[in-house]
Amino acid sequence: MDERDERDEKEAKAAARARIEQQQTWVDLQVRQAMERGEFDDLPGAGKPLEGLGETHDPDWWVKRLVERERITVLPPALQLRKDDTELDAALDRLASEREARAFVEDFNARVIRARYTPVDGPPLITLPRDVDATLAAWHERQAAAAERRRAAQALSAAAAPRRRGVLRGWPRRRR
């Protein structure tokens, strides 16, 4: 390297240093102006101690916060299947077609059978597969009962609604 290259390199480093210093003063100016405008006055947590200050560092802190925030529950397969079994009818009632309900029950049965043949630690698996046809018959009965309740509620609300002549959805008709 000759003298000229060294001088250019030193000038470039000096220029970079000057840019960084100017950037820091610009950032400080922006923060100061925001403070004067009161943009930092009502921040959440103002005046409260920082959460977790003084505790030992936990490398899995973000996973624990995610589980807490999203309410994620991780159960052993046997317990998860028991829970799914108790909630199966309610989940089926949210489905609209028999094809979806059948696929849902068959998926549940496949998970139960897979769990039976998979050795796992934890509580024993006592959940049995559901009889698809019997489950769908009960689903049909619940669907029919819900439809009847909806029809009765509509009939009741229609009977209770006042009837007015000459009024179209609350607006008077024009006279010609």
Task: Tell me the pLDDT tens digit for each residue of 44-83.
Answer: 888 888 777 777 888 888 888 888 888 887 888 889 999 9
Question: What's the confidence (pLDDT) of residue 1?
Answer: 57
- Cα 97 from Cα 108, distance rounded (Å): 17
Helix, strand and coil content of the chain, in percent to the nearest 5, comes to 60, 0, 35
Mean pLDDT (the chain) is 86
Question: What's the confidence (pLDDT) of residue 114?
Answer: 93
- Cα 111 from Cα 15, distance rounded (Å): 66
**If pLDDT is split at 50, 70 and 90, which confidence band does 139 have?**
very high
Question: What's the confidence (pLDDT) of residue 33?
Answer: 93
Strands 171-172 and 167-168: antiparallel
Higher pLDDT, 164 or 105: 105
